A = this chain, B = another copy of it.
């Protein structure tokens, strides 16, 4: 009934850290990346090449790239918003795949990238072409696919049209991002099915934030509808300092727990993910949202075999 395996893209080093107030030193970011790889991650979003004044946490993008372990079996993704970012990413010589982003609404696209939604699609296509011309690949993400913090509802037709336009440039996959965590599984099912009809053989990746608790329900609906890849962040790291209560990406531990228990292979080691969460907590100076790191997996470990109240 379900797929036998799902690919997880580890996004903690970029989307996870991007909005955190604590400035994480470059060597600790590299530790995080190494730990993710050790836990089985084979695609890692390692940084973004954006204006360091806008996103200070990503100011060390080149330094992070310089320290990446040399491995033939891991794809390093660098997020880029424009041509300048693409050039920086390619200049490092260590980024395997550019992450291009376009935004489903004009207001959000204008606030984030200074261009219309259509303009952001053209920019993403240009980035994909740049990557291919450099012998690399590119992924494309449609931000605010499930709702916009400024314009509210986003129509499926708009997202589907953007996906169809992106296809022309030949990305390795197209992602639908629930940037502000407003999605619900019925919406996810509908939109994934709609996008599938226009992207042909290009795989669909999903990017969910757990802002309203629906993150794993949306992951499940997406997989049932045929998405093949899920972005997730160790610890559920993330959240936005400007939006009180905003939560991070879906937590890698929780996604892996759910999928592995459901018989779907992720290639990731839950124990090592939980250990990485424990390592991260003192660095971030706070408890992280991931639930499985607190409860442990299953079967229940001996230490937790205390009385539990009924039902």
Contacts and interface: CB of A to CB of B under 8 A. Distances in A.
A182 B261 contact: yes
Interface string A270-311: 000000000000000000001110111111100011111111
Interface of A: 1-2, 15, 18-19, 55, 79, 81, 101, 103, 108, 111-113, 141, 143, 147, 149-150, 152-153, 177, 179-182, 184-187, 189, 207, 210-217, 219-221, 240, 242-247, 251, 254, 257-259, 261-264, 290-292, 294-300, 304-311
Contacts of A290: 213
Nearest to A190: B1
Give the secondary structure class of A's interface: loop
Contacts of A246: 295, 308
Q: Count copies of this chain in the complex.
A: 2
Contacts of A180: 300, 308
A298 B295 CA distance: 30
Chain B CB count within 10 A is highest, among A19, A211, A216, A245, for A216
B294 A217 contact: no
B219 A262 contact: no
A311 B141 contact: yes
A261 B184 contact: yes
A309 B213 contact: no
Contacts of A240: 306, 308-309
